[in-house]
Amino acid sequence: MTQPSHKEGKIKTQLKRLNCSVGLLQETHLNDKEHKKLKREWVGQVFSASCESGKKRGVAILCHRSPDLVPDKVYEDKEGQHVMVVGTIGNTNITILNLYPPNEDDPGVFFRDIALLLAESSKDGRGFQLCCEPKCR
C-alpha cells in the first residue's frame, strides 16, 4: 500500500482531530486513481472529480466511516471543479456539493452550470437548505 503524501497526511490528521464527518477538499491536483487512495484510516467513502487535462484543479468529498452515506446519484465534473453527492444518511436526505470555482475560465458559465446541476438534481422533489458550519473552518 502506498504511503500518503506529507501534505495529504497533515490534512487528514487535521480533519480527524476536528472530528469531521465530512471533509471537502479543493485544488487537490490528484487524478482519479490518486483520489481513490484517500480512502483509508477514518475515511470510509471518497467522491471526487479530477481534471482530465492534467494534474490541476480537483475536488474531493471525504466521508467518515460512520454515519454511512448512501449515495443515490454522484455528479462529477470532468474539469475537476465540482463534485456533488445526492443521497441519504439514515432517514435524512442529503446533498453535498463541493465547488472549486474557476480563476481562469468564465465564472458566469461555471455558476450557470452549477444552477442547472442543482435544478436537475432537485427534480425528485428534494428541496435545498444551505448549511454553513463555521466550526469546521
pTM of the prediction?
0.79
In the chain, DSSP assigns E strands to 22-26, 43-49, 59-64, 69-76, 82-89, 92-99
- Domains of the chain as residue ranges with CATH: 6-125 (3.60.10.10)
Query: For the residues of 12-48, what is the DSSP string, one character each?
Result: HHHHHHTT-SEEEEE-----HHHHHTT--TTEEEEEE
Cα separation, 87 vs 82, whole angstroms:
17
Cα separation, 46 vs 63, whole angstroms:
6
List pLDDT tens digits, range 50-65: 987 776 789 999 998 8
List pLDDT tens digits, range 19-29: 888 899 999 88
